Every structure is written in structure tokens, then in C-alpha cells.
Structure 1
Amino acid sequence: MAGGWFETVAEAQRRAQKRLPPSVYSALLAGAEKGVTYRDNMSAFDEIGFAPLTAGMSGKRDLSTTFLGQEISLPVIISPTGVQAVHPDGEVAVARAAAARGTAMGLSSFASKPVEDVIAANPKTFYQLYWIGSRDDMLRRLDRARQAGALAIILTLDWSFSYGRDWGSPHIPEKLTFREAMRFAPEALRRPGWLWSFARTGHIPDLTAPNMAAADGTVPTFFGAYGEWMNTAPPSWDDVRWLVEQWEGPLLLKGVYRVDEARRAADAGVAAISVSNHGGNNLDGTPASIRALPAIVDAVGDQLEVVIDGGIRRGSDVVKAVALGARAVMIGRAYLWGLAANGQAGVENVLDVLRGGIDSTLLALGHSSIHDLSREDVLLPPDFVRALGTGDR
């Protein structure tokens, strides 16, 4: 393995930081404003304890489960993330890695690779949409996803971009012109391994959004597509219900955080929800996703599937989420660090790290299956749970 094996996601992050130009690395760290939610997403997991056994543990453990009708080998799914300029193969490498490890791929509509190429690499692909443009625009994107073979839709609503970041935001150009290339050159030259990985392909980092192509085939830049999103009115619950009806397949609504809205999502007919604050890149001051999970599971867990994203760095984090009622978790930064560190093999490495952590935690808890987990396996401190949207404060 050219990049070398790493044993933790933290080591993948360290290697990604060494390999990536500083502005590219800082883009992966981006959390809104002060970063309160970004930090709480991770630290909240540290507050949860376990109740392990001493003897009588199971000699074999089954980590497999299903999500949106698809069998997956472990309760970890690739969350959709935008333009993946950390590696030339981008989303295709991630899709191959997920397929090799038996799990599903979430593909962003802002991805740098076409949906057709990604689904060819991993047939278990869920295609992600933002609400951008008119209903006709949404129908055209749905049709392309359907024709490509997407198995489900992820509708992302948990993103209200904040311009203010206390540590500063990296400069990301609209297009990589000669002037911008010269501006970026000092950074890139300090990271020759990253620069060479693109140079040997004959292509510069792609800042377009091929899956956001207009009706006439015109492909916008990432920021062109982003600008259209900024100028589109946010969808209503009627719009969500309409999209469910148009897709006629499983739809995951990403970004549900309140109990009352979880109930509305169930009423709208979605098949699943993700308890998410967009990795801390949404409204800063929102509690960690894991804090909101139990109340939402209690409210709608018998009506739809619930997953969670935000702050997952270890297999034990996955076990904590599943014990609190999540069907699975979605990971974002963790696999991007693996991709930056060692391409497809790095993403496989991250999934193996999580698998190993899940397995060893199940062993210590005395369970033979991920489905045996319950809240009896974890210790929650007083006032850990945040039941938002219940009328209680």
C-alpha cells in the first residue's frame, strides 16, 4: 500500500494534513462561525460510557444490517460531500472503496464526478439533491438519477451557509485560471505528492459540478451551482411531499433535528431521516447530532429508518449511535481524510478501522450482532439528551 496503513481515523487526518495544501485541508475542517457545534459533535460521544461484560462474550459478531432496502456489511454509509479535490479520482475512488467493503455510497449533486461513473463503480449509490431551481429542474435531476440507476434519493436541507468563520475561510476560486493557478502555486509546491497525483493524470482539480448540468447541457462551476442554490427559495413541507411522490422510491431527508419536524417528515412519506447538523457547518450553537438522536428515535423510529451523521471518528462511536436507536451512521470528513491520505485504499482503510472498532466493542458488550445493541449498553450522563421541538425547555 503506497501510502502505508494507518490504525486510526486521527492518523488519517494527520496524514491528510501533511499531504494537502493548507487551503484544501482547511476546507475539510470548515465549521460554522466559532465551531461550537463542530466540536460538540465529537466531544458528545466522549460523554457516553459503556456497560461491558467480563465473561460469556460471543465468539463471532455479525456487523451487517440493511438500510433503505440495501444490505450493507457494517452500519456505516458514505455521506455525500461536495467537490472532492483532495484526490484526482474523487468520488469514483470513494465509491469503489465502499463497494469493496460492502457498503453504500452517498453521492453529492455538487460532486466532481458524474453520477453515471459513480454508480458504475458502486451500484449501491444513493443520489443527493439540494433544492435548487424550479420543480422542473428538480424533475430533470431526478430523471437523470433514475436513468443512471440510483437506488434512493437523499434530500439535504441541513445547510444554511455562514460566511463568518473564526479561523478564516480558504480562498476557493470560481475557476482555476492561470492567475488563480499562480496564486495557488506556492501552496501546491509545498505539497509535491498531492501536486504530482494530479499532474500525472494530465488534469487540474475539477471545480465544476457535472451533475448540475442545465437542460441545454451546460455544466456550471461549483460556485455557479452554489449561487443558484443561494437564490432559490427554501422548500416547504409540501415540496418535500411532492418530491417523495415524484421519485416513487426511498427518499432520505437529511437534516432533521427536532421531534416535531421528524413527525412531519414521517407524515410526508420519507423512508428515512438523518439527524444532522451538516457536520457543524450549519447553524452554530446547535447541539451535537447524537444528543438529538434518542428523542427522535422515540418519536418516529417505528415509522421510518433513522441514521445520524456528525462527529463519528471511531467504531465505538458507531456502536453508541446504534445503541441509541440509529440504523446506521453516515461519515464525511473521516473518509475524505482517508481519500487524501491514500486514495481508494485510504478510504478502505478508514472503513476497516471503523469495522474493527465496532467488532471489538460488540465483543466487550457481549453481543453477537449489531442488532442486539440497546440503550442498556450505554451510560448517558444527566441532561445529555436534547429533545428539541417538544415544547419542553
Structure 2
Amino acid sequence: MNPWFETVAEAQRRAKKRLPKSVYGALIAGSERGQTIEDNQLAFTELGFAPHVAGPIGTRDQSTTVLGQQLSMPVMISPTGVQAVHPDGEVAVARAAAARGIAMGLSSFASKPIEEVIAANPATFFQMYWCGSKDEILQRMDRAKTAGAVGLILTLDWSFSHGRDWGSPVIPEKLDLRTMLKFAPQTLARPRWLATYAKAGHIPDLTAPNMALGDGPAPGFFGAYGEWMGTPPPDWADVQWICEQWGGPVMLKGVIRVDDALRAVDAGVAAISVSNHGGNNLDGTPAAIRALPAVADAVGSQIEVVLDGGIRRGSDVVKAVALGARAVMIGRGYLWGLAANGQAGVENVLDILRGGIDSALLGLRKTSVAELDRGDLVVPAGFERALGVPAAPVRAVAAPTSA
């Protein structure tokens, strides 16, 4: 089989064919019915283009910046936890992102240490949850700062829903002999995936090294997950505290409402990601692309706005930028590429997106992503979801004067 693929859908097909059922199930999972994960993708199909037939057709510039980092195209790697789809995990993704000139987002729950990932891609943002005590949060921030992270991504768009109508993926807490025997039928049915780990000389790593404190051992993924679940959610004062303690650019990931976006500005964040955690948060939340225009209108002149959720094509990236996003973050797409062909597979996915962006710019007769605006799109009536828009202040009415 030719290792190269031409669409993200083909990367997904190959990932499904290569990965054990439980591992693949974790990649496609969404909460409850899956209404939000479905809408994340379908919403893009409701948006059309309004192309020109003549105009500039020279070199098209896809470059932009996010939080001071130069990107060769308006795409970033969204942080995702424990990338056990390939032995090289987050390091392979970071190398691919560096090779294609984009920034990396590294999860707190990643399987590779932040130091190794930043060595592979210096343009790495460290993602954190509000997890543990403030002292523990500070220790993790200090480690990220010492390692050279260029910014912080504070993820708040994740609830505790475990129910999925089609069945939650079965993920073991640790890979001991008993667990390996239990999952043997799945893994033996995917000999190429098993051979990749055999060649690497180790089994999938289900620890979270970036959650370790001091010289202590790295907790298991579910141990770290349990600590996060047991930590009371933050308030806006806590968000401000994070920004003050970090002392550099902070992106707040998970904003879907205008009022939250305004509060984020007040709290001191430098960017927000309009996101519903890829459909793994509260099911029934609208697609991120539907909420983007209202949020971008409200705060886009004050802070940077990016979007994640449902990106499968370069044309999706163009639609998001035209509606007010500076860039997008991708998750499942690069994981499918990683599963299909390691670092080269991730580069393949990024090249597909770049080609799609270029084709859309050509059709729209734009020479730069900076020229995109809503006039380039066909936006159907009722498409947008303006959530949490503050009521207009009541204007004082002058009392009538007597004749």
C-alpha cells in the first residue's frame, strides 16, 4: 500500500484498519448521543463559498501568527492526551509540526515529557487543566516555563460525562500481564500496530509524565484524570491568577459564549479558543464554528481568537478564518495521520490541509489568508449561534417637559 494518502478521511480509514478497536474507539468518541461531535463537522457543510472568476492568481500567502509564534499556515496542533496510537507519540507530532512550520500544543496528560517535545519543536504551548492545589499547579507551570514553553493553554471545556450511547471505549488503567492477556485478541488482530511497538522495544505508555511533581513518579493516566475530576472547577479569579503567575501569553480553551469571552478578556488572557472539546464536553453544545462569529465580533479586536472542532479539510480552515478566527487547532485529524504512518502521516495530514487552503484561496482569488472575510462565504440564515450575548444597556429616557 502506498503510505501516502490524499484526504483526512483516508487517514481515518487507515487508522481504523490499523488500531485495536478500543484505541480507535477513543479517537472517535464523543459524549452521550454524539450530537455535538456530529454538528462540529456538519456545520462546515452548511457554509458555502462565493468565488471570483478573475483576479490575482500569484503566490498565495498562508502565514499568520498566534501569540507571537509565526505559523506557515493558520493551523496549530491541539493538545490531546496519551497518544498511544504510535510509539513516538507526541514527539513525532512535534517533529511533524516543526517540519511544516506550525506550533505544537502539548497536553498535561501527554505520554511524552515536555522537555522531549520542546526539543522536537521549540514552538510548543503547554496545556493545563485546573488540577490539584495551587502549589501543584505552580510546580507544573514552572516546569513548563523552565523547559521553554512559549505559552500556556488553559483548558476549561471538559465536563465529566462518561456516557456514550454507542458504548464508551474500554481503556485500561495500566498495561500489566493480566491486562495484556485480556486485550490480546484486539492487539493480535492488528499485527502491524503490534509490530510497531515491538520494533520500538516498549509497550504503549499510559503514564502522564508532565503531571509528575518534583522528583516523584509519573502518575498513570487515570490517576491524573482522577485528580483533575476531584479538583473543584476554577472561577474567573483563578483564571486571572493563572495569567498573573504564568507571566506570558495564555490561551483560554473552551469558550463558546460571548459573555465568557468578555470575562476572559477581563481576566487577562491573550487568546481564546472557541471550542466544545471536540464534542467530548456537554453534548448538545452547538458546533464551535456556529458560535465563532459572535465571539469574534465581541472580542476579536482585543485578543486573538482561534477555533477548534470539526476541521477535516483545508476549506474548513478557510471558512473559520473568514468568520473571524486567526487560526484553527486540529486534533483527531493528526492523530489519524500518526496512527496511519507516524511522523510522516502527520506531515501528510498537514500537507492535505495546506493544499486545501491554497485551492480555496485560489478559487476566492485571494493572495493571503489575511484578506479573507465573511463576504467570501455563503452563510445560510439561522447558521450562527450567538450565545450569552449581554443585553444592550437600557438607555435613559428623558422625562417629557411641560408645555
Which category describes the TM-score, using the shorter chain as reference length? Answer: over 0.9
Q: Which residue of 1 aligns with 2:295?
A: 296
* Structure 2 residue 274 is matched with structure 1 residue 275: yes
List aligned pairs for 1:169-180, cutoff 5 A: 169-180=168-179
Q: 1:16 and 1:91 mapped to 2: Cα distance?
A: 16
| Contact 1:254 1:276 (C-alpha < 8 Å) held by counterparts | yes
| Contact 2:29 2:169 (C-alpha < 8 Å) held by counterparts | no
Task: Spell out, residue by residue over 1:276-311, the C-alpha distance to the aligned partner (whole angstroms, 9 max, x if none).
Answer: 000000000000000000000110000000000000
Q: 2:45 and 2:87 mapped to 1: Cα distance?
A: 35
Q: Which residue of 1 aligns with 2:264?
A: 265
| Greater Cα shift, 83-92 or 163-172 | 163-172
List aligned pairs for 1:160-175, cutoff 5 A: 160-175=159-174
Distance 1:290 1:160, change over 3 A: same
Q: Which residue of 2 aligns with 1:147?
A: 146
Q: Which residue of 1 aligns with 2:335?
A: 336
CA-CA distance at 1:177 after TM superposition:
1.1
| Contact 1:96 1:121 (C-alpha < 8 Å) held by counterparts | yes
Q: Which residue of 2 aligns with 1:349?
A: 348
| Greater Cα shift, 11-20 or 48-57 | 48-57
Q: Which residue of 2 aligns with 1:40?
A: 39
CA-CA distance at 1:58 after TM superposition:
2.1
Task: Spell out, residue by residue over 1:203-240, the C-alpha distance to the aligned partner (whole angstroms, 9 max, x if none).
Answer: 10000000000234121000000000010000110000
List aligned pairs for 1:227-376, cutoff 5 A: 227-376=226-375
Question: Which amino acid is the alignment partner of residue 118 of structure 1?
Answer: V
Q: 1:134 and 1:272 mapped to 2: Cα distance?
A: 25
Q: 1:250 and 1:12 mapped to 2: Cα distance?
A: 33
Q: 2:302 and 2:6 mapped to 1: Cα distance?
A: 38
CA-CA distance at 1:391 after TM superposition:
5.2
CA-CA distance at 1:200 after TM superposition:
1.3
Distance 1:112 1:159, change over 3 A: same
| Contact 1:57 1:365 (C-alpha < 8 Å) held by counterparts | no
Q: 2:30 and 2:271 mapped to 1: Cα distance?
A: 25
What is the RMSD computed on CA atoms of the aligned residues?
0.9
Question: Which amino acid is the alignment partner of residue 69 of structure 1?
Answer: G
Q: Give the TM-score normalised by structure 2.
A: 0.96
Task: Spell out, residue by residue over 1:69-116, the C-alpha distance to the aligned partner (whole angstroms, 9 max, x if none).
Answer: 011100000000000000000000000000000000000000000000
Q: 1:108 and 1:163 mapped to 2: Cα distance?
A: 20
Q: 2:312 and 2:174 mapped to 1: Cα distance?
A: 33
Question: Which amino acid is the alignment partner of residue 235 of structure 2?
Answer: S
Runs (4+) of structure 1 exceeding 2 A deviation are: none
Q: 1:3 and 1:184 mapped to 2: Cα distance?
A: 29
Q: Which residue of 2 aligns with 1:193?
A: 192
CA-CA distance at 1:3 after TM superposition:
5.9
Q: Which residue of 1 aligns with 2:133?
A: 134
Q: Which residue of 2 aligns with 1:182?
A: 181
Task: Spell out, residue by residue over 1:166-218, the C-alpha distance to the aligned partner (whole angstroms, 9 max, x if none).
Answer: 11012111111111000111110110000000011111000000000023412
Q: 1:149 and 1:391 mapped to 2: Cα distance?
A: 39
Q: 1:219 and 1:97 mapped to 2: Cα distance?
A: 26
| Contact 1:3 1:342 (C-alpha < 8 Å) held by counterparts | no
CA-CA distance at 1:56 after TM superposition:
2.0
| Contact 1:57 1:364 (C-alpha < 8 Å) held by counterparts | no
Q: 2:99 and 2:215 mapped to 1: Cα distance?
A: 36
Q: 2:22 and 2:247 mapped to 1: Cα distance?
A: 41
| Contact 1:105 1:122 (C-alpha < 8 Å) held by counterparts | yes
- Count of paired positions: 391
Question: Which amino acid is the alignment partner of residue 325 of structure 1?
Answer: G
* Structure 2 residue 213 is matched with structure 1 residue 214: yes
* Structure 2 residue 87 is matched with structure 1 residue 88: yes
Q: 2:219 and 2:6 mapped to 1: Cα distance?
A: 39
Q: Which residue of 2 aligns with 1:59?
A: 58
Distance 1:391 1:249, change over 3 A: closer
Question: Which amino acid is the alignment partner of residue 44 of structure 2?
Answer: F
Q: 1:373 and 1:29 mapped to 2: Cα distance?
A: 31
Identity across aligned pairs (percent)? Answer: 73
Question: Which amino acid is the alignment partner of residue 68 of structure 2?
Answer: G
| Contact 1:3 1:341 (C-alpha < 8 Å) held by counterparts | no
Partner-residue secondary structure (3-state), 2:167: coil
Distance 1:273 1:198, change over 3 A: same
Question: Which amino acid is the alignment partner of residue 194 of structure 2?
Answer: L
Query: Gaps spanning 5+ residues in structure 2: where?
Result: 392-403
Question: Which amino acid is the alignment partner of residue 388 of structure 1?
Answer: L
Tell me which structure has the larger Cα radius of gyration.
Answer: 2
Q: 2:2 and 2:365 mapped to 1: Cα distance?
A: 35
Task: Spell out, residue by residue over 1:115-149, the C-alpha distance to the aligned partner (whole angstroms, 9 max, x if none).
Answer: 00000000000000000011101100010000000
Q: 1:355 and 1:381 mapped to 2: Cα distance?
A: 26
Q: Which residue of 1 aligns with 2:5?
A: 6
Query: Gaps spanning 5+ residues in structure 1: where?
Result: none
Q: 1:241 and 1:311 mapped to 2: Cα distance?
A: 29
Distance 1:267 1:3, change over 3 A: farther
Q: 1:277 and 1:32 mapped to 2: Cα distance?
A: 11
| Contact 1:12 1:337 (C-alpha < 8 Å) held by counterparts | yes
Question: Which amino acid is the alignment partner of residue 6 of structure 1?
Answer: F
Q: 2:189 and 2:354 mapped to 1: Cα distance?
A: 34
Question: Which amino acid is the alignment partner of residue 367 of structure 1?
Answer: K
Q: 1:374 and 1:92 mapped to 2: Cα distance?
A: 35
Partner-residue secondary structure (3-state), 1:155: strand
